[in-house]
Amino acid sequence: MESDLLNKIYIGIDTSFHKTGWAVMKGFNILDYGNIIPPKEFKKVKASDIEFSQFLLWYSKQIQKIVVDIFNKYHQIDYVVLEDLNVEFVRVAKAMIQVFSAARIGILMGYNFANISTIHNRTVKAMFEIPMGKQMSKYLKTHSGVKDRAKLEKLRPDKILMVDRINKMYNYNTELTYDDNDIADAIALCITKMIKLGSSNKCSTKKKKH
């Protein structure tokens, strides 16, 4: 890993209209993290509701505040990474597209020089060796503990595994609970971005040598 990439500030944002996890990292060091949780009046809001536009404005301002606070504290923002939209679930696709757009607006309002990129959740899961689809079904047959924890926490098994992966990676100093699964996803976004940047830089160097 190039030392230059380890000195960059990364913000990871796992967008959602239920609970959004965010994290700030400098290289592999976790500087700060948290959740954006909608207030009571927006808890059950839907894309078809009149109040949804009010929620989007509120959400955008929350993202803006976080970005401004981060810049004021660290005087640097190099990369902002959002989880790529997974709109295969048509039922929530419209709402997620609007929430995603509100997040981008909030980022740019907070820091208009932000380098914003997206990474698909499949790419992040692959980076952390989290099984997907049929592989997950096979995995759970031999890892009943994960299945039991997922049932107990009312979470998908991949969410359980991501929290476990991040906690283990940091020798459990992060102390993330399963309720912090969106934060774990945000941290994973930052790490994936950094590793992908390192890989692309290596490829560029090799091409120049030729």
Q: How far apart are CA 114 and CA 43, in angstroms?
A: 29
Q: How far apart are CA 178 and CA 205, in angstroms?
A: 40
127 CB contacts (<8 Å, ≥6 apart)? 188, 191, 192, 195
Secondary structure E strands in 19-136: 20-26, 29-36, 79-83, 116-119
Tell me what pLDDT residue 205 has: 45
Q: pLDDT for 102-146, tens place per residue?
A: 999 999 999 999 999 999 999 999 999 999 999 999 999 999 999
CATH architecture of 3-130+179-209: 2-Layer Sandwich (3.30)
Q: pLDDT for 22-33, tens place per residue?
A: 999 999 999 999
Total Cβ atoms within 10 A of residue 28:
16
Q: Token pair of 106, please?
A: 């909030």
Which residues of the chain carry a pLDDT beneath 50? 203-205, 207, 210
Tell me what pLDDT residue 45 has: 87
Sequence spans of domains, the chain: 3-130+179-209
Tell me what pLDDT residue 202 has: 56
* Total-model pTM: 0.92
Tell me what pLDDT residue 201 has: 61
Plot region of 82 (φ>0 → left; ψ -120 to 50 → alpha; else → beta): beta
Tell me what pLDDT residue 95 has: 84
Tell me what pLDDT residue 44 has: 86
